[in-house]
Structures are given as structure tokens and as C-alpha cells.
Structure 1
Amino acid sequence: MVDTVRTHLPSAAQAAYYGGLGALAALSIIEWPVAAAIGIGTVVAQRSRSGSSESPRSRAQSRSENANE
């Protein structure tokens, strides 16, 4: 259960990044569509860089199955 939650939560650095991006949009320093595009682009780049095409849920399930063996 805890592993499943951890796979869906961002790391502290990612949370700070997305929080800062949200703050910039909320303060109208950047427009919200620009912030959304940056955030989505970052997620896509991180997933492609890690070479992972499977979802966090399926990774968590395979980890729990490997732990039970």
C-alpha cells in the first residue's frame, strides 16, 4: 500500500518545482497555459528519459509481486 502511494506522489524536489510553477501562474508572472505546458512537458520528458512506458500503478504491482516471491 505504501509503495503504491509513493509511486503516485512526486519527490520533494518535484513538489517544490510544481509548487513554484503554480505560484508563478497564480501570481500572473506567467500565464496559466504556459505553466501547464511547462508542467506537462516536464512530466513527458522525465518519463521518456527514464525509458519507462508503463504506468506507476503497474510498476508498483510488479514491485509488490517481486517482494512477495
Structure 2
Amino acid sequence: MYSAETHQNLISRIPGVTGRTIEDWLHAVAEGPGLLRCEDKIDWLRREYEISYGYAKAIVHEYDLRRAAARM
């Protein structure tokens, strides 16, 4: 895994690189096929939306962080 700073840098670049907001991406993961493993979610995003591994991983990590925060 990478540092929190690197993660935030990746997240901040996603809209410019992909043309979609991070909220759009998080919604896509939430409404996706309901995969349980992080790697499966990453692979699905890469196939479905043709984005790089790094950005897909950052999106899934952000999704998991926000879900964990919401449970607290």
C-alpha cells in the first residue's frame, strides 16, 4: 500500500484523468457486481472502465475507507 498523502494525490487527479468525479466512481463501485475482494473490484473497474491499475486501486481504497468511516 502507499502513504495517505500518495492516496490523496491519486484521488485528487482522478476527475481530471477520467472525466468523472470521485463520487461517480464510488457510486459505480457501490452499484457494481458486489464483489468482495479488493483485487476483484480493482480488476472489474479496470475491465469495465479501462482505467489504470493505480487509479482503480485508489478508487477501491477510498470506497473501503468511506464505508469503514460510515460504520463508526
Structure-1-length-normalised TM-score: 0.41
Which structure exhibits the higher relative contact order, with contacts defined as CA atoms closer than 8 Å and separated by 6 or more residues? 1
Select the structure of larger CA radius of gyration: 1
Structure-2-length-normalised TM-score: 0.40
